[in-house]
């Protein structure tokens, strides 16, 4: 049996205006906590990034620039990135707090119906289309990065895992989120939704 990783931050710990409430999980890309934004009085999710990010100023700078671009992705099927912070050597992301389960966990429980599969597939594809039209490619698409909520699927972690490769010695011009500029001309697909359309 695999032992769960020990979470570093405890309830009541403050990162700027954000107060940690409880741990949500941990993995190779850091630890995630449920927290409260004291300024706006709302719950958020805080992802504390691995120590290698703090040890590389160039990587951290690129990460912050790319985070600004990703924070502009407004779409009902994309988890919102609210803020990026650093305190006492700890780098963290502040994201929309989502209640539900990952697609990975859902698939482990039981097979999905054709209707569920189609609905989730459409929502994820629509989120990716919005990102691509904004010049951002995810590059870490997997069931663990899709959260299923009562309101629908939410795509998370835009290429964050690629930070590991950059810390291992990638070229300095490589963007931290693996955001890649797409074509300058982005015509709408026949029958597809325009960028600003609603569902």
What average pLDDT does this structure show over 163-187? 44
Query: Which range is least confidently modeled, 14-23, 103-112, 174-183?
Result: 174-183
Comparing CA positions, the residue from 159, 173, 128 lying closest to residue 29 is 159
pLDDT at 43: 97
Q: Which of 89, 82, 104, 81 is nearest to 25 (CA)?
A: 104
Identify whether the C-beta of residue 67 lies closer than 8 Å to the C-beta of residue 159.
Answer: no
Between residues 135 and 27, which one has the greater pLDDT?
A: 135
Arithmetic mean of pLDDT, 172-199: 41
According to the model, what pLDDT value does residue 58 have?
A: 76
Give yes or no for a contact between 189 and 128, defined as CB atoms under 8 angstroms apart: no
Domain boundaries, the chain: 14-167
- Asked whether residue 196 carries a pLDDT value surpassing 60, the answer given is no
CATH superfamily of 14-167: Transferase(Phosphotransferase) domain 1 (1.10.510.10)
Largest CA distance in the chain: 51
Active site residue ranges: 140
3-class secondary-structure state, position 29: coil
Does the pLDDT at position 60 exceed 50?
yes
For the segment 76-132, what is each residue's pLDDT rounded down to a tens digit?
999 999 998 888 888 898 999 999 999 999 999 999 999 999 999 999 999 999 999
Task: Output the pLDDT for position 190.
Answer: 41
3-state secondary structure of 169: coil
User: Which is nearest to 125 in space by CA: 97, 112, 133?
Assistant: 133
114 token code pair: 């054709």
Please give the DSSP secondary-structure letter assigned to residue 113: P
Question: Which tens digits make up the pLDDT trace of 129-142?
Answer: 999 998 888 878 99
Q: How far apart are the first and last CA of the chain?
A: 44
Mean pLDDT of 38-44: 96
Please tell me the distance from the alpha carbon of residue 89 to that of residue 107, in angstroms, as a whole number.
Answer: 37
Find how far residue 129's CA is from the centre of its chain. Answer: 16
Q: What is the pTM of this model?
A: 0.73
Mean pLDDT of 32-42: 96
Predicted confidence (pLDDT) at residue 198 exceeds the cutoff of 70? no
């Amino acid at each position: 049996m695999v032992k769960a990783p020990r979470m570093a931050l405890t309830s009541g710990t403050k990162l700027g205006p954000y107060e940690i409430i409880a741990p949500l999980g941990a993995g190779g890309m850091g630890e995630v906590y449920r927290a409260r934004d004291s300024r706006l009085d709302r719950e958020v999710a805080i992802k504390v990034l691995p120590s290698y990010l703090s040890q590389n100023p160039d990587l951290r700078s690129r990460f912050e620039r790319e985070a600004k671009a990703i924070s502009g992705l407004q779409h009902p099927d994309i988890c919102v990135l609210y803020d990026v912070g650093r305190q006492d050597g700890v780098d963290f992301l502040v994201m929309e707090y989502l209640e539900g389960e990952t697609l990975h966990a859902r698939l482990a429980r039981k097979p999905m119906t054709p209707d569920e599969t189609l609905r989730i597939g459409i929502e994820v594809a629509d989120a990716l289309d919005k990102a691509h039209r904004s010049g951002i490619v995810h590059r870490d698409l997997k069931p663990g990065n899709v959260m299923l909520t009562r309101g629908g699927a939410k795509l998370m972690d835009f290429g964050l895992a690629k930070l590991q490769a950059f810390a291992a010695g990638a070229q300095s011009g490589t963007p931290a989120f693996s955001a890649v500029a797409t074509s300058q001309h982005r015509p709408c697909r026949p029958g597809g939704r325009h960028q600003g359309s609603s569902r």
